[in-house]
Amino acid sequence: MRLPIVAGNWKMYKTPAEAAEFAQAIIAPLLPFEGVERVVCPPFVAIPAVAAALRGTPIKVGAQNVHQEPHGAYTGSVSVPMLQGLVEYVIIGHSEVRQYQGETDAMINAKAKALLAGGLKPIIAVGESLAQREEGQTVAHVGGQVRAAFEGIPPESLANVVIAYEPIWAIGTGRNASPEDANQTIKEAVRDVLAELYGAAAAETVRIQYGGSVKPENMLAYMSMPEIDGALVGGASLKVNDFTALVRLAQEAKGA
Ligand code: 13P
């Protein structure tokens, strides 16, 4: 049984003060849903305030990116040692970072290794563009991203890795992949590839989220799919009521 995980990716929203206020506000509503791992990923500068607000609660904190080197002349970057003690999870491979910051598969692999070595857990995002989908390249492309991200990652690390399948054309567009379609792609492009790399039994243990225009109205349908173990949520994670509803629906669907 894979513990469902719902993570809010706040992207470039909320000042430190707004983030701390939001963190305080979600504690009580999210407390009952113990069958779901609950994570919020604020912007870097808001992480200390959110981590302080959530310390001692079951709600976990994540970062939205990290540099693969521990220190150095990398202006504007944040490293694993800087995040240790503040976050448990770190999103890497998000399509917005791949697209706007030139993050490559090799960098994502290096970041995954650095995180795991530092005791932090990567949420590795993968997904195809609309053009790739229309050309029938979805499984090849996403499968390739998975292979590249896991290059050299030993099987004993799988328990500390989450994968988020986020079709790029479904992010922030309101145009979501159908639950059946997302389930199928996750199976063929992610879980089957993990099975090739690590064996079927190990692949069954890895948690895989769907992301892309997830909202309370469609959450139950996604969470009812056997291959989908949670959601990585942008827009709908920014409101207390919506984020609470997503977590509640994950718990309802997975019967945890
Ligand atoms: P939306 O939920 O706003 O579509 O964003 C999805 C996403 O990119 C989460 O990482």
Question: The domain that contains 87 carries what CATH number?
Answer: 3.20.20.70
The model's confidence at residue 173, banded by pLDDT at 50, 70 and 90, is: confident
CB-ligand 1 contact for 214 (6 Å cutoff): yes
Ligand 1 geometric centre to CA of 51 (Å): 22
Q: Report how far residue 236's alpha carbon sits from residue 213's, in angstroms, rounded to the nearest whole number.
A: 8
Give the pLDDT score at 256.
59
Q: Report how far residue 62's alpha carbon sits from residue 81's, in angstroms, rounded to the nearest whole number.
A: 14
Please give the angle made by the CA atoms of 231, 235 and 236, to the nearest 5 degrees. 60
Please give the angle made by the CA atoms of 227, 222 and 8, to the nearest 5 degrees. 100
Per the structure, the count of domains in the chain is 1
| Residue bearing the CA closest to ligand 1, atom 1 | 234
| Residue-averaged pLDDT of the chain | 97
- Ligand 1 atom at minimal distance to the Cα of residue 236: 2
CB-ligand 1 contact for 172 (6 Å cutoff): yes
Q: What are the backbone dihedrals phi and psi of residue 144, each rounded to the nearest 5 degrees, phi first? A: -65, -40
CA 143 vs CA 88, 96, 114, 128, 252: distances in Å? 26, 19, 22, 10, 30
Ligand 1 geometric centre to CA of 199 (Å): 30
Question: 72 by DSSP, 3-state: which?
Answer: coil
Q: What is the residue range of 72's domain?
A: 5-254
Give the active site residues: 94, 166
pTM over 0.75: yes
Give the pLDDT score at 45.
98
CB-ligand 1 contact for 30 (6 Å cutoff): no
